[in-house]
Structure 1
């Protein structure tokens, strides 16, 4: 079973004797999870803001990084900058990301973010044409996507739900941006973040949400009368709209 081809994804290979430690010191999640399956993780700025999100899979002695294809070159450049003298090689591959729903086939991995996102498989063989409505699944479960809800140098991963999506580990030790992320977790209550809402129509992605004439958030992915919205929780409530389209909390 090869599933369907994820046309917007690419794969980097990370190899070398220091590859595991290098990634462990760099990403938001614990590399130990690669011994059991896929690890979903991010790389942050020193100020704790999102730069990249991706999956990491063990591949023999190497590691594969499954990332949005248009972000792969920038990630490779960032990792090259971080590796200094470590024995780490970073290279693009021609491998395909295939995915599907239902039982996880041999050689594939369950998507760690949510069971309804099915499985992912890395292969030299291309899967079939995309037919699954992944946006509908994401919107239903409030799962943000690279370049849509997740904006480089802007998004904070806890506001984006990375704890719920198993994309951050608070016990693994230091990584770039860890201090800010830990502070948000332990010392403050999140006042902003993503939430699935009802929407009576469609609006352009990024459209402002207003209530009582004040901007309180933005609308992003939309499907089947629902949307992923970024909201100020203390201002959200009855009377929200975006470009004349009514929005309601669920």
Structure 2
């Protein structure tokens, strides 16, 4: 166990598995928007570095790499030639020739392998950054370390700032949410600086905020099974329809312009606080399978389970839906289901 993980354990944390940390405060009501810190062990960083890094990524990703300018960190996805997502991520420019891909930890190695098929033709190296710590800072903002500058502008999500070896990225949510990325060697001291004014919570709290924001991060379970539009990625600005070709671009564009997407991501609540497995079937009143569970996280009061689901577009909030014998209730998305061009976000 390294110093960072040992410190989290000493602070009362318990590592349930590779992805999940829990803290004693998780079982108690947090009150009104407290300051919270959370180790985001379910996320990881794949680094692409070298003189050809921008050109290499431009041919593989749905984002226009030029939009990743050190201030805006666009959402993106990597697809198969058939348009199915291998992984989705956020693209951060952290150096003149260096980019970080923020994605689910289970897809860091698979994406490195996939991109590694093309890397020999470019002057790039692909490195999983296992030496980095990712910390979620959310709720009422605690005092940040002096070297951590807030991303600007403060009212736009997916913006980033960098000071030396510390990167902050603003993520959407009902309250402020910042994702901090820094070397594990410094994470202990930074955590201790913020801890006196914040509550340590497990990363399920951060994942619930992703659900509330309607933001879906693929895991290895989902890889190569969904079109980007099925998780509303174009509604979040994760697809540039104005850039040049990339792997899977033709299929993704055709699905958009011909309106061929028959499934969409929705937010839902499931009766009972026990999480259900990813891929669990959703059935309607006639017993027909109409979708599946994408992500499940027990709600803070444990009375319901918060879900992201991929559901047939023919179903509505009036539909009677179940997972097993548990009632499923759809919730409203916090964004419109329409194309958001990242070009307009960059220009804002």
**Shorter-chain TM-score tier:** 0.7 to 0.9
Superposed CA deviations along residues 53-88 of structure 1, whole A, max 9, x for unmatched, are: 222211222112223233222222212211242111
**Alignment check: 8 A CA contact 2:63 2:238 kept:** yes
Superposed CA deviations along residues 155-175 of structure 1, whole A, max 9, x for unmatched, are: 111110111222211111111
Matches of 1:166 and 1:115, distance apart in 2? 19
Stretches of structure 1 lacking an aligned partner (at least 5 in a row):
none
Stretches of structure 2 lacking an aligned partner (at least 5 in a row):
1-36, 150-161, 192-199, 332-348
> What CA RMSD, in Å, does the superposition of the two structures yield over aligned residues?
2.6
**Alignment check: 8 A CA contact 1:38 1:109 kept:** no
1:114 Cα deviation from its structure 2 partner: 5.5
1:9 Cα deviation from its structure 2 partner: 2.6
The match for 1:33 among 59, 67, 73 is 67
Matches of 2:242 and 2:171, distance apart in 1? 18
Matches of 1:142 and 1:90, distance apart in 2? 30
Q: Would you say how many aligned residue pairs link Structure 1 and Structure 2? A: 248
Structure 2 residue 139 is matched with structure 1 residue 139: no
Q: How does 1:87-98 map to 2 (within 5 A)?
A: 87-93=123-129, 94-98=131-135
| Length-normalised TM-score, structure 1 | 0.87
Return closer, same or farther for 1:184/1:112 CA change in 2, 3 Å cut-off: farther
Matches of 1:117 and 1:176, distance apart in 2? 35
Tell me the residue number matched to 2:287: 213
Larger radius of gyration: 2
Matches of 2:235 and 2:170, distance apart in 1? 13
Tell me the residue number matched to 1:238: 319
1:130 Cα deviation from its structure 2 partner: 4.7
Return closer, same or farther for 1:235/1:66 CA change in 2, 3 Å cut-off: closer
Moved more, 36-45 or 151-160: 36-45
Matches of 1:161 and 1:113, distance apart in 2? 15
| Length-normalised TM-score, structure 2 | 0.64
Tell me the residue number matched to 2:180: 121
Query: 3-state DSSP class of the match of 1:123?
Result: strand
1:203 Cα deviation from its structure 2 partner: 5.3
1:223 Cα deviation from its structure 2 partner: 4.0
